Amino acid sequence: MRKTDNRQPNMSKVAFLTLFLSTVSLVLSGQAIPRWTQQSERERSYPSRAFFTGYAQGVVRQGETVEDAKNRLLREAQGLLSENIRVTVRSQTELRTVSITTNNTQRFDATFASDVQTVSDIEIVGISSEPPYHDPATGVVHAFAYVNRDELASYYKSVLAMNIAQTENVLQIAQNMETAGDKINARRQCDAADTLFAMVRSAQGILMAIDPNVTAGEIQQAKTEAVYERLVQMRTRLAQSVYVYMKSEETNFSRPTTVVANRLKSALSAKGCSFVDDLARADFKVLINATTRHHGSEFGFDVCFADVAVQLFDIRRDRSVFQDEFSQRGISTSREDAGRRALEDAAPVIVNKISQWIR
């Protein structure tokens, strides 16, 4: 009689058989496990010195197809890659405190650090990805995205140069408008230059994150600072004069007058305002309506009140920013003089009410 062999099969044979069956299954399914699904392979093929990467994995959710899961995980991997770059930008800016070498002199540029850190929506371009992989044995979906540092740097060097040139063009337009006396539109051009310059700072920040050893020349530091200084100086000049259009309807006991308007113009001129007759050139519009009324007598003197309504429009923002009504007391030997004093004393009240809005 033949004896039954109860010995365990050789483990190496079992492992080989398992691998063989797995390989046959993958061949039959038309797929092979990509090497990038392994962390060690990703680190070897896409080293951090040359690539930014993002990797995500997960299972197919209930009610979700495999293809939907692949697309979802790929978007997640791309998002992780983008956030990796943003974090690097912020950390590099903080660590280096933006100490730029210019003409062999170290200087701290706080404005640069501030501008880069306020740019939260950094556009990341040139992202590549491997086709997402669904492992039939485990049900896990793998997704991997990457971007080459050199290619990203090349793109942002182009973006930097383009935005610097565009900022210079806009500033030239603003300067031409300023020379022509059109300060309101010159300020609007400066606003556009601010937006472009934020993009300049963003590109510089990304370049610094990609290459911590990037030079001042590569990020066009000298030219950038010259453009920034020009922008600051122009804004300072334009802020020195605010154009105001004023319309006033005043009567002192039915007699037309301009007491409030004259006093108001004098006070606002001292604060750097200029007055224009063309509403299209104004930054602000002031509307005044003032009338006087007799209140009574005190110790032989007439007491009158000026009833004043004032409204201030910010033309740049196309809306009313202030509106109020008040009464100002005046006293004198005659009704007309008391009314005039009330109107005169109403002017500084108006200045106090609207000056905080005019800037």
Give the architecture-level CATH label for domain 242-354. 2-Layer Sandwich (3.30)
Fold classification of 38-148 (topology level): Dodecin subunit-like (3.30.1660)
Residue with tokens 């793998």: 142
pTM for the model stands at: 0.53
What are the residue boundaries of the structural domains of the chain, listed by start?
A: 38-148, 151-239, 242-354
Q: What pLDDT, in 10s, does the model give residues 271-322?
A: 768 888 989 888 899 999 999 999 999 888 999 999 999 999 998 788 999 9
Q: What pLDDT, in 10s, does the model give residues 324-351?
A: 999 999 999 999 999 999 999 999 999 9
CATH of 151-239, one of 2.20.25, 1.20.58, 2.40.30, 3.30.410: 1.20.58
Q: What is the DSSP string of 21-34?
A: HHHHHHHHHT----
Per the DSSP assignment, residues forming a β-bridge with 102 are: 105
Helices (H), 30-148: 39-45, 66-96, 110-118
Beta-carbon contacts of 76 under 8 Å, excluding residues fewer than 6 positions away, are 54, 56, 58, 143
Using CA atoms, how far apart are residues 314 and 309, in angstroms rounded to an integer?
17
Which positions of the chain have pLDDT values less than 50? 1-2, 4, 8-9, 11, 14-15, 17-19, 21-29, 97-111, 118-120
